[in-house]
Amino acid sequence: MAGRVLEAGAGLREELDTLGYREPLPPDALPLVRRLLGDLKQARKEERGCKEALAQTREVSEGW
């Protein structure tokens, strides 16, 4: 079981490292951190969509 936890956490650890989060990641925190990282990714995706919509709105309003 411990091996599976380590395997499951390895990919998560890599993602966190890529984002600059290098704090220790205890095995019991994996589910919470996985959910929070998913929420962060979704928020970033939505932010990009909002920025694109804003840019399009600005382009249209400049043409008035």
Contact 37, 12 (CB under 8 A): yes
Confidence of residue 54 (pLDDT cuts 50, 70, 90): very high
Q: What was the pLDDT predicted at 14?
A: 96
Q: Token pair for residue 56?
A: 């399009």
Nearest to 21 by CA among 40, 48, 46, 44: 40
Q: What is the pTM of this model?
A: 0.73
- Mean residue pLDDT across the chain: 91
Confidence of residue 64 (pLDDT cuts 50, 70, 90): confident
Please tell me whether residue 20 adopts helix, strand or coil conformation: coil
Average pLDDT over residues 31-43: 97
Contact 25, 9 (CB under 8 A): yes
User: In the predicted model, is pLDDT for residue 4 greater than 70?
Assistant: no
Please tell me whether residue 22 adopts helix, strand or coil conformation: coil
Place of tokens 């919470």: 32
User: In the predicted model, is pLDDT for residue 3 greater than 70?
Assistant: no
